[in-house]
Amino acid sequence: MTYQSLPPLSLADADSDQEAYRQWKTLSAYITDGPCREWELRHKDSNERVAKGVTALDFRGNSDVIVGGSAPHKPGSTGRVWTADNRVYYPSVFDMKWVLTTA
């Protein structure tokens, strides 16, 4: 099983406009074990996608800007969320979850 994840990038670092748009549109990570499976970061309550650059409140009431993340790499894992201040958190800290969108 190989695991690939998109690191947080600024739009200026992207190789093309299409790549910049793809990275900015939504946080996605890919796990490939045969067919590609796509994961999306979503809000637990509303199930809406979390867009890159959104400001989110943690369970303490502190705000952080979400810039990236890594999807779960195995069953039972929750994945991670990256913030603008270069910290890594569990998605539940911001009341978020990774959802498998393709089988």
Tens digit of pLDDT for each residue in 29-78?
Answer: 443 333 456 788 999 999 999 988 999 999 999 999 999 888 888 878 89
Q: Cα(22)–Cα(40) distance, rounded to whole angstroms?
A: 13
Q: What band does 103 get if pLDDT is binned at 50, 70 and 90? A: low
Helix, strand or coil for residue 37? strand
- How buried is residue 12: exposed, middle or buried, by Cβ count under 10 Å (0-12/13-18/19+)? exposed
Output the CA torsion sign for 55, 51, 49, 37: negative
Tell me the pLDDT band of 2, cut-offs 50, 70 and 90.
very low
The residue among 103, 37, 99, 33 whose CA lies nearest residue 69 is: 99
Domain boundaries, the chain: 2-100
**pLDDT tens digits, one per residue of 86-102:** 899 999 999 999 988 87
Termini Cα distance of the chain: 15
**Structure pTM?**
0.63
